[in-house]
Amino acid sequence: MKVFFEYFYYRIAKLNFKKNYERAIISVTLVQHFILVNLYIFLVDGPLEIRGKLSTIEIIIYFATFFGLDFYNYKIYKDRFDEFEEKWGHESRYKKRIGIIKVFLFIIFSLSLIFINGWIYDRYI
């Protein structure tokens, strides 16, 4: 998984035309955090049927884990773009296309987890 997230970071950074690699780091954080949140919903929030407004504690934990994870990702990915460019910069067109599809599908997967949880725990309108 570590290599996949490195590749994820590299591909998003490559897409970013302004060479702002921080946005790539935050993209990694977003998908990772969303998976964690959905895991929490699946294991705790859903079975206990917690409904209604988010409590202050939940919001604090939400942001603490988000920024904690982002800080961690920033530490491990900062200034490593060139290293990844050397590793994956010369991929064949086929491999590159498959890689981009994998990254794209992973984003869709992480964002759609909440809809799967919603279906399991009947949270649709």
Partner 1 sequence: MGGVTLPYWEKVFLDFNDGFWNADRSNMSSASAFIGYADLQLGKTAALLKFAGATANTLKVAGRLGTGLGVAGIGLTIIEDYRNDDLGAGTIAKLAISGLSMAFPVFGVIYGVADIAWGLYTGTTITDSIAAGVQNAYNKNK
Site residues, partner 1 (CB under 8 A): 22-23, 26, 29-30, 33-34, 37, 41, 45, 50-54, 59, 62-63, 66-67, 70, 111, 114-115, 117-118, 122-125
Q: Which is nearer to partner 1, 68 or 89 (CB)?
A: 68
Q: Which of 7, 3, 1, 2 is nearest to 104 (CA)?
A: 7
Nearer of residues 52 and 86 to partner 1, judged by Cβ: 52
Joined together, the tokens standing for residue 29 give 């954080």
Q: Give 74 or 84: the residue with its C-beta nearer to partner 1.
A: 74
DSSP 27-52: HHHHHHHHHHHHHHIIIIITTTT--S
- Nearest distance from C-beta of residue 41 to partner 1, angstroms: 7
Structure tokens at 66: 């988000």
